[in-house]
Amino acid sequence: MLPRGRPRALGAATLLLVVVVVVGFFLFGRDPEYGLQATATLDGDPYGSRNRSTSDLQPLLPLKCELLHVAIVCAGHNSSREVITLVKSVLFYRKNPLHLHLVTDAVARSILETLFRTWMVPAVTIRFYDAEELKPWISWIPNKHYSGLYGLMKLVLPSILPLSLARVVVLDTDVTFSSDIAELWALFVHFSDKQVIGLVENQSDWYLGNLWKNHKPWPALGRGFNTGVILLQLDRLRQSGWEQMWKLMAKRELLTLQATSLADQDVFNAVIKEHPELVHPLPCVWNVQLSDHTLAERCYLEAADLKVIHWNSPKKLRVKNKHAEFFRNLHLTFLGYDGKLLRRELFGCPSQLPAEAEQLQQAMAQLDEEEPCFEFRQQQLTVHRVHITFLPHQPPPPRPHDVTLVAQLSMDRLQMLEALCRHWSGPMSLALYLTDAEAQQFLHFVETSPVLSVRKDVAYHIVYREGPLYPVNQLRNVALAQALTPYVFLSDIDFLPAYSLYDYLRASIEQLELSSLQRKAALVVPAFETLHYRFSFPNSKAELLTLLDAGSLYTFRYHEWPQGHAPTDYARWREAQAPYRVQWAADYEPYVVVPRDCPRYDPRFVGFGWNKVAHIIELDAQEYELLVLPEAFSIHLPHAPSLDISRFRSSPTYRDCLQAFKEEFHQDLSRRYGAAALKYLTALQPSQSRA
Amino acid sequence: MLPRGRPRALGAATLLLVVVVVVGFFLFGRDPEYGLQATATLDGDPYGSRNRSTSDLQPLLPLKCELLHVAIVCAGHNSSREVITLVKSVLFYRKNPLHLHLVTDAVARSILETLFRTWMVPAVTIRFYDAEELKPWISWIPNKHYSGLYGLMKLVLPSILPLSLARVVVLDTDVTFSSDIAELWALFVHFSDKQVIGLVENQSDWYLGNLWKNHKPWPALGRGFNTGVILLQLDRLRQSGWEQMWKLMAKRELLTLQATSLADQDVFNAVIKEHPELVHPLPCVWNVQLSDHTLAERCYLEAADLKVIHWNSPKKLRVKNKHAEFFRNLHLTFLGYDGKLLRRELFGCPSQLPAEAEQLQQAMAQLDEEEPCFEFRQQQLTVHRVHITFLPHQPPPPRPHDVTLVAQLSMDRLQMLEALCRHWSGPMSLALYLTDAEAQQFLHFVETSPVLSVRKDVAYHIVYREGPLYPVNQLRNVALAQALTPYVFLSDIDFLPAYSLYDYLRASIEQLELSSLQRKAALVVPAFETLHYRFSFPNSKAELLTLLDAGSLYTFRYHEWPQGHAPTDYARWREAQAPYRVQWAADYEPYVVVPRDCPRYDPRFVGFGWNKVAHIIELDAQEYELLVLPEAFSIHLPHAPSLDISRFRSSPTYRDCLQAFKEEFHQDLSRRYGAAALKYLTALQPSQSRA
């Protein structure tokens, strides 16, 4: 602003001067503030450095509600996590509808499809493009960059994006926004008629070719340009024969150079070296590059405002930089940012939600806030964001009797994971109920655990927290849906299975010929418990029975809730040599092994109570045989009572609501199974006093 | 941006037109985009609604590194929480140094002083003004608004702020920024020579005076103005005799009206009604008012961008509004935002950190990242943000033998609080190690708990999480420093004291004449443990002994770590009728009652191990008598092992580092106590095998 006391006419004069310059750009097609001579080179004067007054006369922003297009190439588990943080940063500042064009491999597609479907952000639409199909277009180019083939795919975007699309912003997955992407989009206005590619100068000396002896980079104009952030004028690129152009250039250079070192960036720079008229240099703040030997400081020390940070070192956030802390804080902001808060409408823009989300919103609106079970009903309807296979995962090879352990947990059970991995050597599918910030802690926990980091057969699915009640059955359903073996062991996180259980279950499935006979069976794994933290786990049924007799172990919930496991018939199990059939009875909730296409858990049971009981009823109603396995067992370890169980015990409303949901569940059962469901209703009566 | 294909000359022409209009404002002093006739009234066209292209030609922003001044009135525990969220939102978007002028009562001052000292945000300076001293200036004005006298204090800001200060932004504590405050500051440029107060129109019909029969609001221009966000041109206000002016006006209106309904806002509006030339109307987006019957929709549905949200309903976030979810999400962003991420430098601006923070940064920089204990040393140096008395709290009346229970916990022990309150009826000082988001969950937990919400004698101090290791002794020191009684009971959160303990301790302190004799004593409360969650707590020593004999209770860590409590001499305690003295021995770590000026805990012990042992050594070195109380006891409840203890058990580095810190501790002891400290070193040798 103007210093106090100076005549306002002087302010007006300054402004007029600035304006004449800006208007000059419009009329004559070159902006001295943005031109290659000045702002875009590291040795010049960066955008808006000396005085914000002039630079912040921003370029014309897009119209309210104008749709902006963004293209990103993303492959694999780790890049999928990265891209979500990038998207969060974009969504945080954006005020326009966005259309994302995502070029993905199968892994990223399945992760991101689930994520965006459950995220339900208004005014964001997605289209996927199969990276597999693009490989033939670029796989002939030898490449040494860590992005592999995928980096090169940016070159073919003009050929594969819809013909109707005239402009697109292309982003690497390792950038973070700290400003509205509309401001970046607005820079298209400054392109001259010939300019088709907007890029920021490379903020390192790489392309100068003097980094070490015999360092031979690809040709580039000066320091070259970085392709982490690109503005593509697609229509003109297509007209100018872009596809021919870059292929020719790449082939020519590959005659003397063996491979690309920096993937697409080498090719882009080679083309630009030959055709400098194609490039529109962007202000350096739109791609602040934190590579290992970055010169970015020359940009950001002067600039008033950083727009996009680019973590283009292979070390990513661990890059050595004296201001790294500052940039990390920006990035951590979005890593830990609660994604559900980005479900913000754009006021005044039409039709922003997919139909599914629209219906959900209406259902939510119909709930009665004064009803005593309102909180429960709201929780039941809540659609949680789901990030499947958060960490690298190798699906198990197809084997007809294989079993996946299925369970769910939240942060306070993380310390169970290592022990669980030691006890169960087979595949697992685990749903974790976490905040975005906790998901990062979890990531760190796994990466630093020698036991967990080597297990690629454990799939972790993050279900993001929302609402006050623990959505236990929704979590179980997520883990169950992601199990990839023909059978699943439906367990709980506080149980450690017998060391032999994984092998024994597969052998039992084979012996019982469950798959070949298409036998509808639920194999019961008898449950025990210990009250001691330090406890030497029995290596066999014989050892377990000794501990049981010594009073060091109990059958599960023997004192508090015997009917939960009574039908398992522990006395018979002691002696049993072969699987034996048991009958359903009220409140039975054993841990079972079933085919993975078994019924889902009923999501109406949130918080504490009846969540497994209802599932066993469903199995029984669908005529699953209940077969107890004579050598199987698992043992519950002690833990402090959950907040949900404390609330259940202290709140009459909580108990009343659970009762109401049990009745609704029974009504649904009658509707679906008719008279056959009567036995469950009859059985319900005497147990009403409890949960 | 311009539609594709339209000639660029047209864009230039549009820009020129806009420019002429803006320049016109500079020369002739009225901006048609901001004038009362157009943008600022609800029936007009809000700022930037039709087309962002024109409105986003922003006003001139302040210079890089220009200091902006903000004044806020804040009193009490709840407003202190509010103001921190406001400040976080301002800091998130700001790019300028800020000076905060905080008018506070004693409670808010003590909270905010601690917070900002430990927050150490670069380029933020604070000055406090005592609200108590301002009361005589405004207490003669009868006021019915919920803000009480404090709201009215905004009227006297021109009189109390430094004379050298020409401009200030004044904010209510219940506003949230979603833009850079520099843009607001920039609006000062648009003030005419006469205009001294910048305000947004009131977005309700209140001042139209037709809300109900006999509704007689204070006089106002049209809908009047809202004072949640004010730009004050202080120099001109002082020149124009503001103090006289508002007092006269208030006195005149109070002849017919009994009191102000909306505090300062009524007075501001009365002045403006009489002197409309004083007000500079601001665009509605700078104060989007979510009161109960808000008309704000007319503003935000059209606007491209909301700048400041104002929660000016007494219901705050629970206000009924069909877009409330949107606004809540903005607000929740900053409620849960990790404040440490705001410790961002402003690149290129000089001297931003207080000396203390500068030293800390240097100490951190000197740590060797390759050293095996680097993580520990980093954690030891970490200064955590501290928010003392996070919830309303009444200090205990001064009583010579009173005792405060001191403990620390994190989220996973929240369920202990209710039981603890039932067992201990006296004052407590608890440090909670939480993230910002968890602090909000904790707030909700206390507010909805019938047991906790009534206890105003429990002070909760939030220590914000930072770093991988649990800073157990730093937490204890925070809780200890905030204890306000002459004695403290240094306990742990997993222990429940005997029901009678509070009364018994006070009686013992009196009987032992600790205070009158200035006797340096540490009273030992013997510790026991149970392995059962459901457990009927003994009502007397006799009952406890019965349980002990029955094997339902043990002396604490009897199996794992007997030396921790052996010197308490449980056998003697069984029979004891009077306090008895015991001698220190290696590894002794009893729970003790001491004067509150006792030595602090040694903050070098982070994570698991030796944190209490070192404190007891310190007491012994300072010649505290160790007296075991014959009727005192407390019982440890079971819980799952912490992540820290698991790491300790599994990591040799962890154990080696702990050993190194023990040795450093002993070196310090020798330095401070000379030969007297030798016995601790000698005692250390045999126990090296353990921790």
Nearest to B61 among A56, A345, A531 (CB): A56
Please give the Cα distance from A217 to A202 (Å, whole number).
13
Cα of B623 to nearest chain A Cα, Å:
38
Please give the Cα distance from A275 to A245 (Å, whole number).
10
Residue numbers in A near B442 (CB within 8 A): none
Does B29 sit within 8 Å of A52, measured CB to CB?
Answer: no
| Nearest to B608, CA basis, from B407, B463, B472, B493 | B472
Decide: A148 and A47 in contact? Cβ < 8 Å: no
Q: How far is CA B653 from the centre of its chain?
A: 35
Does B1 sit within 8 Å of A63, measured CB to CB?
Answer: yes
Does A53 sit within 8 Å of B56, measured CB to CB?
Answer: no
pLDDT classification of A644: cutoffs 50, 70, 90? low
Residue numbers in A near B185 (CB within 8 A): 1
pLDDT, residue B184, reads 97
| Beta strands per DSSP E along B2-160 | 68-74, 98-104, 124-130
Please give the Cα distance from A555 to A550 (Å, whole number).
13
Q: Find which of B93, B169, B192, B341 to mutate to test the A interface (most A CBs within 10 Å of its CB).
A: B341
Same fold, B68-340 and B386-683: yes
Identify the closest residue of chain B to A65 by CA–CA distance.
B304
pLDDT, residue A271, reads 96
Enter the CATH code of domain B68-340. Answer: 3.90.550.10
Tokens at A285, concatenated: 């703040």
Q: What average pLDDT does chain B have?
A: 87
For residue B240, give Cα distances in angstroms to B35, B236, B250, B482, B529.
23, 6, 17, 46, 73
Identify the closest residue of chain A to B192 by CA–CA distance.
A8
Asked if the model's pLDDT at residue A30 lies above 80, the reply is no
B340 φ, ψ (degrees, to nearest 5) = -65, -25
Q: What percent of chain A has pLDDT over 70?
A: 88
Q: Find which of B294, B337, B347 to mutate to test the A interface (most A CBs within 10 Å of its CB).
A: B347
Rg, Å, chain B Cα set = 31
pLDDT in tens, B307-317: 999 998 777 66
Does B641 sit within 8 Å of A188, measured CB to CB?
Answer: no
Residue numbers in B near A60 (CB within 8 A): 1-2, 11, 15, 53, 56
**How would you list the strands of the sheet with A591-595, edge to edge?**
A386-387, A458-464, A428-434, A403-410, A487-490, A591-595, A521-525, A625-628, A580-582
pLDDT in tens, A213-263: 888 899 999 999 999 999 999 999 999 999 999 999 999 999 998 888 889
Q: Which residue has the higher pLDDT, B68 or A351?
A: B68
Which long-range contacts link A472-475 to residues 24+ away (Cβ below 8 Å)?
Answer: A472/A408, A472/A601, A472/A605, A472/A606, A472/A607, A472/A611, A473/A601, A473/A602, A473/A603, A473/A604, A473/A605, A473/A606, A473/A611, A473/A615, A474/A384, A474/A601, A474/A603, A474/A606, A475/A408, A475/A431, A475/A433
pTM: 0.86
Cα of B366 to nearest chain A Cα, Å:
13
Secondary structure (DSSP) of B244-264: HHHHHHHHHHHTTSSSBSSTH
* Residue A41 burial by Cβ neighbours in a 10 Å radius (0-12, 13-18, 19+): middle
> What average pLDDT does the segment B468-480 reach?
96
pLDDT classification of B330: cutoffs 50, 70, 90? confident
Our separate counts of H helices and E strands in chain B read: 26, 23
**Dihedral angle sign, alpha carbons of residues B667, B669, B671, B677:** negative
Residues 571-610 of A with CB under 8 A from B: none
pLDDT, residue A361, reads 86
Residue numbers in B near A16 (CB within 8 A): 19, 23
Chain A to chain B, count of Cβ pairs less than 8 Å apart? Answer: 194
Q: Is A557 on the interface with B (CB under 8 A)?
A: no
Please give the Cα distance from A529 to B675 (Å, whole number).
53
CA end-to-end span of chain A: 67
Q: Is A165 on the interface with B (CB under 8 A)?
A: no
Residue numbers in B near A11 (CB within 8 A): 26, 60, 189
Please give the Cα distance from B429 to B457 (Å, whole number).
9
**Would you tell me how many other CB atoms lie within 10 Å of the CB of residue A3?**
9
Strands A225-233 and A197-201, by their bridges, are antiparallel
ipTM at complex level: 0.81
Q: Find which of A56, A378, A440 to mutate to test the B interface (most B CBs within 10 Å of its CB).
A: A56
pLDDT, residue A59, reads 56
pLDDT in tens, A575-590: 999 999 999 999 999 9
Does A643 sit within 8 Å of B640, measured CB to CB?
Answer: no
Decide: A141 and A266 in contact? Cβ < 8 Å: no
Does B16 sit within 8 Å of A60, measured CB to CB?
Answer: no
Does B8 sit within 8 Å of A26, measured CB to CB?
Answer: yes
Cα of B447 to nearest chain A Cα, Å:
14
What does the H/E/C string look like for A191-254? CCCCCCEEEEECCCCHHHCCCCCCCCCCCCCCCCEEEEEEEEEHHHHHHCCHHHHHHHHHHHHH
Nearest to B61 among A53, A166, A347 (CB): A53
Decide: A413 and A441 in contact? Cβ < 8 Å: no
Give the single-character DSSP code of B395: P
Homologous superfamily of domain range B386-683:
Spore Coat Polysaccharide Biosynthesis Protein SpsA; Chain A (3.90.550.10)
| Beta strands per DSSP E along B217-358 | 225-233, 279-281, 288-289, 308-310
| Nearest to B680, CA basis, from B636, B615, B600 | B615
Ranges of each domain in chain A: 68-340, 386-683
Asked if the model's pLDDT at residue A691 lies above 90, the reply is no
Of A137-141, A592-596, B282-286, B322-326, least confident by mean pLDDT is: B322-326
Length of chain B: 691
pLDDT, residue A641, reads 65
Q: Which residue has the higher pLDDT, B412 or A112?
A: A112
> What average pLDDT does the segment A612-624 reach?
96
Decide: B74 and B111 in contact? Cβ < 8 Å: no
Identify the closest residue of chain A to B468 by CA–CA distance.
A441
> What average pLDDT does the segment B524-535 reach?
87
Decide: A526 and A633 in contact? Cβ < 8 Å: yes
Please give the Cα distance from A625 to A523 (Å, whole number).
8
Cα of B545 to nearest chain A Cα, Å:
22
Please give the Cα distance from B84 to B92 (Å, whole number).
12
pLDDT classification of A41: cutoffs 50, 70, 90? low
> Exposure pattern of B52-89 as b/e (b: 16+ CB <10 Å)?
bbbbbbebbbbbbbeebbbbbbbbbbbbbbbbbbbbbb
Q: What average pLDDT does chain A have?
A: 87
pLDDT classification of A685: cutoffs 50, 70, 90? low
Identify the closest residue of chain A to B67 by CA–CA distance.
A1
Asked if the model's pLDDT at residue A417 lies above 50, the reply is yes
pLDDT in tens, A490-549: 999 999 999 999 999 999 999 998 877 778 999 999 999 998 766 789 999 999 999 999
Nearest to A347 among B62, B95, B301 (CB): B301
**Would you tell me how many other CB atoms lie within 10 Å of the CB of residue A664?**
12
For residue A287, give Cα distances in angstroms to A42, A199, A201, A202, A390.
12, 9, 8, 9, 27
pLDDT in tens, A137-169: 999 998 888 778 899 999 999 999 999 999 999
pLDDT, residue B255, reads 92
Q: Which residue has the higher pLDDT, B99 or A16?
A: B99
Q: Find which of B21, B60, B648 to mutate to test the A interface (most A CBs within 10 Å of its CB).
A: B60
What SS3 class is residue A518? Answer: coil
**How would you list the strands of the sheet with A124-130, edge to edge?**
A124-130, A98-104, A68-74, A167-171, A225-233, A197-201, A279-281
Asked if the model's pLDDT at residue B322 lies above 90, the reply is no
> What average pLDDT does the segment B226-246 reach?
96
Please give the Cα distance from B478 to B387 (Å, whole number).
10
pLDDT in tens, B31-86: 333 333 334 455 544 443 333 333 344 557 888 899 999 999 999 999 999 999 99
Does B437 sit within 8 Å of A305, measured CB to CB?
Answer: no
pLDDT in tens, A358-404: 898 889 889 988 899 999 999 999 999 999 999 999 999 999 999 99
Does B640 sit within 8 Å of A640, measured CB to CB?
Answer: yes
SS3 content of chain B, % helix, strand, coil (to 5): 45, 15, 40
> What average pLDDT does the segment A461-479 reach?
96
Decide: B631 and B541 in contact? Cβ < 8 Å: yes
Residues 299-358 of B with CB under 8 A from A: 300-305, 323, 325-326, 329-330, 332-333, 336-338, 340-345, 347-348
Residues 425-454 of A with CB under 8 A from B: 435, 437, 444
Please give the Cα distance from B321 to B380 (Å, whole number).
47
Please give the Cα distance from A357 to A117 (Å, whole number).
9
* Residue A444 burial by Cβ neighbours in a 10 Å radius (0-12, 13-18, 19+): exposed
pLDDT, residue B59, reads 55
